[in-house]
Structure 1
Amino acid sequence: MSDAVATALREGVETPAYVYDLAEVRANQARLRAALPERCGHYYSLKANPHPHLLAALREGGARAEVCSPGELDAALAAGWPAHTLLYNGPGKRDADLVRALRLGVREFSVDSPHALDRLDAAARAESVRARCLLRINDDQPEPGQGLTMTGVTSQFGADVAWVLAEPTRFGDREHVEVVGLHLYMGTNLAGVDDLLAQFGRSLATAAKLRAEGFRVDVLDLGGGFGAPFGRAGGAVDLTGLREGLHDLLDEHAPGWRGGGPEVVFESGRYLVGTAGSLVTAVLDVKRSHGRDVVVLESGINHLGGMSGLRRLPPLNPTLVHPAAAVDAPVTPTVVTGPLCTPLDTWSRAAPLPPLRPGDLLAVPNVGAYGLSASLLAFLGHPCPAEAVVDGDRVVHTSRLALTRVPN
């Protein structure tokens, strides 16, 4: 049981509850900053977890914010990031959302096509402002080792290199939009430094090719992919050696980066907050069915598991939190389900668990990223779990999302 979970339970946080550890967020951010070259910035991707207290801690630690929806934009502004420092990303942006973002002061966007450039230009013209954008590039092929490949394949993300080189004028400036750099994000959740360096090396080589063809590269966003475990024990990827490797790659492919150009930035969500969250949930029922042990929990795919529909969720093997005496008991493969009225609500069909009783508590570790906000909260209408933020030895905030229908 983590110290943060112990603190939350000691202070009476009701289950089910997500428990977030601000000390772990700060430690992860310090590790990432130490692993990046000294002149490089980093964005926090709000899609990983938009909780206000996590956002505030990351902003205070020097992260910028990367958003890709009106809701994330509002969350970033509420957390204190100035609008002009945000990067508005995403392959599909409604005209109304572009206008609103510009009206609120956002000036930097990532765009994926000539049509996206035209729409941003029209929105900027309507607001009588000028915007800057990064042209997102879909590289020729993916690098191995990616948890989720986003470029190098047929994708909604970015413009293919061949297309950009064949029709360069279609990807140039507009009357109200300057194309100031490139955005290359090849994949997520890479398992180690060698995989990260291979990805960044390929992206830098592609950027150098486009720069040689006359494309402006004042800003170079190399994305992220910094890995962390999900729903299982362990720590974030060891980044030892990344800084030195990036120095070599940047010296080779982006000369001048040490002295003012281009500005190089990275993005991270999972690495920064993934290991900072646990879901604690109680056992509601225990039984035998067709010769197998089955436990029913008060949390299921409605509280953790929305990404399973996207084939991104592995079987979850929860850790027993209480009673402590049961931790050393012999374990047996156990079917772990939630309370929903569907057979799809199954976390694991063979979790190694000791004998359980109703009322025992289980914890799923390392779900600070893509946990509550990536789940099926509205499905079947069960209450949302609490969210408890722990800082040191005390709970500093608790809240619970409310699912209500608001009339027009």
Structure 2
Amino acid sequence: MSRPAGTPALPAVSPLSAVALLPGSVETPAYVYDLAEVRANADRLLTALPGNRDLYYSLKANPHPAVLRTLRAAGARPEVCSPGELEAALEAGWSAGTVLYTGPGKRDRDVAAALAAGVREFSVDSPTALDQLDRLCAEQGVRARCLVRVNDDQPVPGQALVMTGVPSPFGADADWIREEPALFANRPHTEIIGLHLYMGTNLGTVEALLAQFTRAAQTFRDLAQVLRGEGVELRVLDLGGGFGAPFATAGEPLDLTGLARPLAAMLDAELPGWRSDAPRLAFESGRYLVGTAGTLLTTVLDAKRSQGKEIVVLDCGINHLGGMSGLRRLPPLTPHLDTAARPAEAEAEAEAEGEETVETMVCGPLCTPLDTWDRRARLPRLVPGDRLTVPNVGAYGLYASLVAFLGHPLPVEAAVDTDRPGEAPVHLSRVALVRGSH
């Protein structure tokens, strides 16, 4: 994403500098997460947001344990939507009392397990979800706090993925709350403490973010008055996120240097008590915090020409990156040649001949013609053994892919810290799929 002219460059870490910290024996495919970049992203985002606020990290973006520990140390709280994510958050050192448990549909046993673990704050999407939580709290003799997620009346321009103002499993329609507020009142074991307005994702401009947050603040003010008639006092506003960052292409996170002042001015106008925590503000982020911290390494297994087309087959495919591309949710994924990993003689030969790029079809190793990242990538002529990299895949990379399809081993994951270049990787492991008996 481009920055406005005249704005300072964001500090960035080249993905290859993180890759260079890996031991030479690490096999591919491998995801490499730079914890220094995670810290830098967290600092950028926290600097751009009001001082008295909570910041939640959405574990669905990347639940790697070293990434989670780094974000916990940076001051983020965990936002989870499954038993597995809750377990990962607790193992990373967060207390259950800091967790926000979200999701448009929750199984009784999952909510009960979260309550038993000590989770007390949930986002709910309907009166049915409120009743469910209240019933399960009663069974355990505890009380819980709720944010009611709201599907606002209309979408806000600039959203990459529209999540509000359309028919949606996420949240209760704002008009529904206005028309039947008694359905959204407190329950005997469940207190409504705020609203959750997550309107869109991956916004590309500060203006779009401000428009989204302004609309959310206005809706909060309106519904707070409506619900006050039912004895509900809203004191928390979760404004969601949508902070943009590139995916699987070169680039930097959205420059947020112009956000803080107009955001504070908007909040002063719409919610005058916010500076004294009336309401308490919360924001969420996944991709902005970790997207640019991840690089995928993959190796060319075969290179040939077929029907007049250059073809390369990698040891990594849609099972490890871009598994949702079959749903038309992802653009073509074009890797980059890692010349530092080429044998010296091969690189010398390429330089002598003048490296040219050719239109190349980039495929993975799966036994299906759907396993294709890019049909028209412009790449140097590749040979087996060449190593390629895909930048900015720290969010929605491995953990949004078809990892079980066709049974290939999962990629290695390595967490390194370019703030400490002389040290070994912080974490080097591989997730394993284990079949359990029931």
Shift of 1:402: 1.1
**Of the candidates 382, 391, 404, which is equivalent to residue 434 of structure 2?**
404
| Superposed counterparts of 1:77-226, under 5 Å | 77-213=90-226, 214=228, 216-226=233-243
Which residue does 2:78 correspond to in 1? Answer: 65
**Of the candidates 369, 373, 385, which is equivalent to residue 343 of structure 1?**
369
Instruction: Assess, with a 3 A threshold, how the Cα gap between structure 1 residues 358 and 276 changes in structure 2: closer, same or farther.
Output: same
Which residue does 2:405 correspond to in 1? Answer: 379
Which residue does 1:234 correspond to in 2? Answer: 251
Residue 288 (1) aligns with residue 305 (2): yes
> So what's the TM-score if we normalise by structure 2?
0.91
| Unmatched runs of 5 consecutive residues or more in structure 1 | none
| Unmatched runs of 5 consecutive residues or more in structure 2 | 1-14
Q: After superposition, what is the alpha-carbon deviation per residue over 1:358-406, rounded to whole angstroms, capped at 9, x for unaligned? A: 0000001000000111110100000111001101214121100112322
Query: Matched residues in 1 for 2:195 and 2:322: separation?
Result: 33
Contact 2:42–2:289, Cα closer than 8 Å, also in 1: yes
Which amino acid in structure 2 is aligned with residue 116 of structure 1?
A: A
Which amino acid in structure 2 is aligned with residue 402 of structure 1?
A: A
Residue 5 (1) aligns with residue 5 (2): no
**Of the candidates 263, 271, 288, which is equivalent to residue 288 of structure 2?**
271
Which residue does 1:370 correspond to in 2? Answer: 396
Shift of 1:307: 2.2
Residue 49 (1) aligns with residue 75 (2): no
Which amino acid in structure 1 is aligned with residue 405 of structure 2?
A: F
| Superposed counterparts of 1:322-333, under 5 Å | 322=339, 323=342, 325=347, 329-333=355-359
Q: Which moved more, 1:319-328 or 1:168-177?
A: 319-328
**Of the candidates 403, 418, 425, which is equivalent to residue 395 of structure 1?**
425
Which amino acid in structure 1 is aligned with residue 79 of structure 2?
A: E
Aligned length: 407
**Of the candidates 28, 38, 41, which is equivalent to residue 25 of structure 1?**
38
Q: After superposition, what is the alpha-carbon deviation per residue over 1:234-278, rounded to whole angstroms, capped at 9, x for unaligned? A: 011111211112101111111111113111010000000000001
Shift of 1:11: 4.2
Provide the identity percentage: 63
Which amino acid in structure 1 is aligned with residue 334 of structure 2?
A: N
Contact 2:333–2:373, Cα closer than 8 Å, also in 1: yes
SS of the residue corresponding to residue 131 of structure 2 reads helix
Shift of 1:332: 1.4
| Superposed counterparts of 1:293-332, under 5 Å | 293-322=310-339, 323=342, 325=347, 329-332=355-358
SS of the residue corresponding to residue 395 of structure 1 reads coil
Shift of 1:165: 0.3
Shift of 1:311: 2.5
Q: After superposition, what is the alpha-carbon deviation per residue over 1:14-61, rounded to whole angstroms, capped at 9, x for unaligned? A: 111000000000000000000001112200000000000000000000
Q: After superposition, what is the alpha-carbon deviation per residue over 1:206-226, rounded to whole angstroms, capped at 9, x for unaligned? A: 111112222532110000000
Which amino acid in structure 2 is aligned with residue 165 of structure 1?
A: R
Query: Matched residues in 2 for 1:260 and 1:67: separation?
Result: 24
Which residue does 2:29 correspond to in 1? Answer: 16
Q: Which moved more, 1:302-311 or 1:190-199?
A: 302-311
Query: Matched residues in 1 for 2:16 and 2:45: separation?
Result: 22
Contact 2:315–2:365, Cα closer than 8 Å, also in 1: yes
Q: After superposition, what is the alpha-carbon deviation per residue over 1:308-351, rounded to whole angstroms, capped at 9, x for unaligned? A: 13432110110111328459721111100000000000000111
Query: Matched residues in 1 for 2:383 and 2:24: separation?
Result: 23
Which amino acid in structure 1 is aligned with residue 406 of structure 2?
A: L
Which amino acid in structure 1 is aligned with residue 320 of structure 2?
A: H
Contact 2:66–2:426, Cα closer than 8 Å, also in 1: no
Which amino acid in structure 2 is aligned with residue 342 of structure 1?
A: T
Instruction: Assess, with a 3 A threshold, how the Cα gap between structure 1 residues 311 and 216 changes in structure 2: closer, same or farther.
Output: farther
Query: Matched residues in 1 for 2:270 and 2:324: separation?
Result: 36
Q: After superposition, what is the alpha-carbon deviation per residue over 1:139-185, rounded to whole angstroms, capped at 9, x for unaligned? A: 00111111111111100000001100000000010010000000000
Query: Matched residues in 2 for 1:67 and 1:398: separation?
Result: 24
Which residue does 2:10 correspond to in 1? Answer: none
Q: Which moved more, 1:227-236 or 1:396-405?
A: 396-405
SS of the residue corresponding to residue 20 of structure 2 reads helix
> So what's the TM-score if we normalise by structure 1?
0.98
Which residue does 2:382 correspond to in 1? Answer: 356
Query: Matched residues in 2 for 1:216 and 1:55: separation?
Result: 33
Query: Matched residues in 1 for 2:123 and 2:379: separation?
Result: 46
SS of the residue corresponding to residue 332 of structure 1 reads strand
Q: After superposition, what is the alpha-carbon deviation per residue over 1:119-154, rounded to whole angstroms, capped at 9, x for unaligned? A: 000010011000000000000011111111111110
Query: Matched residues in 2 for 1:61 and 1:295: separation?
Result: 41
Which amino acid in structure 2 is aligned with residue 210 of structure 1?
A: L
